[in-house]
Amino acid sequence: MDAAIEGLLLQLLAVDQDIPGLAGGLSPARFNWRPAADRWSIGQCLEHLNLTTERYVPALRKVLSNARAKGLVRGGPYSLGWFERWFLKGMEPPPRWRTRTGKAFIAAGELDPATTVQRAHALHQDLAACIRDAEGLDLQKIRVKSQFGPVWFSLNGTFAIMLAHERRHLWQAREVRNDRAFPPA
């Protein structure tokens, strides 16, 4: 397996394994508790990630299929462009800036903990399949349109940014759980 693909899969596995410790076993009240009206609950952080992955997976499948049809193959190593490096740096937790997200990516206020967590694991499997399907492709040359706006990243950059986005919102969810006012069990 290509080292870049293996590294991406290991990052995704780490994210996926972080979720049960963060959200597992929480009551609906604790899962949906918000520290302030303008802040998200643990559930909303996870569902935001679900909505994002759900939107990206079909786009990634299409890009991967088109790249294979065009014969865009190449082995690594791969690098990121300066804009991708800058964007990635700002995405990693703790966040350097806060951004507003589109309505399509904002989770409902009341979420079922078990359903949301199961959905996260299933979507991570779908994303892992996309990463594995990228094996042998030119991760640097293939371009993917951001699902958040009119920006294009390399496939390598897209995967890296998606994983940083996961870490960012898990960090945000952990901040909610560590809040002094977080309801006791």
Question: Does domain 3-178 match CATH 1.20.120.450?
Answer: yes
| Cβ atoms of 28 and 110 closer than 8 Å | yes
pLDDT value of position 137: 96
CA distance 16 to 12: 6
| Ranges of each domain in the chain | 3-178
| This prediction's pTM | 0.94
| Successive 10-residue mean pLDDT values, the chain, 185 residues | 93 98 95 96 98 97 97 87 94 85 81 97 98 96 92 96 97 97 94
| Cβ atoms of 72 and 154 closer than 8 Å | no
Taking the CB of residue 123, how many other CB atoms lie within 10 A of it? Answer: 19
H/E stretch holding 158 reads: helix 155-178
pLDDT value of position 78: 87
CA distance 60 to 66: 10
pLDDT value of position 155: 97
